[in-house]
A and B are shown apart, each in its own frame.
Chain A
Amino acid sequence: KQEVTQIPAALSVPEGENLVLNCSFTDSAIYNLQWFRQDPGKGLTSLLLIQSSQREQTSGRLNASLDKSSGRSTLYIAASQPGDSATYLCAVRKHDMRFGAGTRLTVKP
């Protein structure tokens, strides 16, 4: 059974820092991995999708990498801003999507 783990559970940084969020999964036979942002009490906003054949995807200040063989993905956020404060979820897809518990990020002005 696929298990998805995200470390750290919470992270607080000053504005402007570059940071890395980690996601690991136990079954490397996945079709893709997707990173989401969730604001409190809100829905999931898609950030990046990495297909299993890809190594990384970039969108603006965000860069996500995938190492399928080792069961790991990282989300890199450059020059963090207070507006980046949210919970970041990773989800791996084989048939259905399995989610991690998320990393709650706080960026202090």
Chain B
Amino acid sequence: EPEVTQTPSHQVTQMGQEVILRCVPISNHLYFYWYRQILGQKVEFLVSFYNNEISEKSEIFDDQFSVERPDGSNFTLKIRSTKLEDSAMYFCASESGGNTEAFFGQGTRLTVV
């Protein structure tokens, strides 16, 4: 069964460093998302991406964050200068069409020290 794949599963980084989280969405899907879940809190929307551009973003997704689909298969989230409060589980999701069933990856646990 097709699935969304995320790498790495766990990343530890020092405060101020740049990190890139990687996702391979399901191959025929067109809509891509990043969400995050701080430990013990709700899953929160970060950004949606369609047709090679951001379609929606939350107030969390500030200038420190960026997304890219560099090669038609990968979908990446970059955090330029990580802060302690960026520590969370980051989930990538994809959908075949707008407002259809969303499929999530297993997540990347980011720990900023």
Contacts and interface: CB of A to CB of B under 8 A. Distances in A.
Contact of B107 (A34, A43, A93, A99): A43
B91 interface: yes
A32 B44 CA distance: 17
A93 B99 CA distance: 7
Contacts of A36: 104
Interface magnitude class on chain B: 20 to 34
Q: How large is the interface on A (under 10, 10 to 19, 20 to 34, 35 or more residues)?
A: 20 to 34
B102 to A, nearest CB: 6
A42 B106 contact: yes
Main secondary structure of the interface of A (DSSP, over half): strand
A42 to B, nearest CB: 6
A46 B94 CA distance: 12
Contact of B102 (A41, A46, A51, A101): A46
Interface of B: 6, 33, 35, 41-45, 48, 56, 58, 89, 91, 93, 99-107, 109
Which 6 pairs from chain A and chain B are nearest by CB? A96-B45, A43-B106, A44-B104, A99-B43, A31-B99, A49-B101
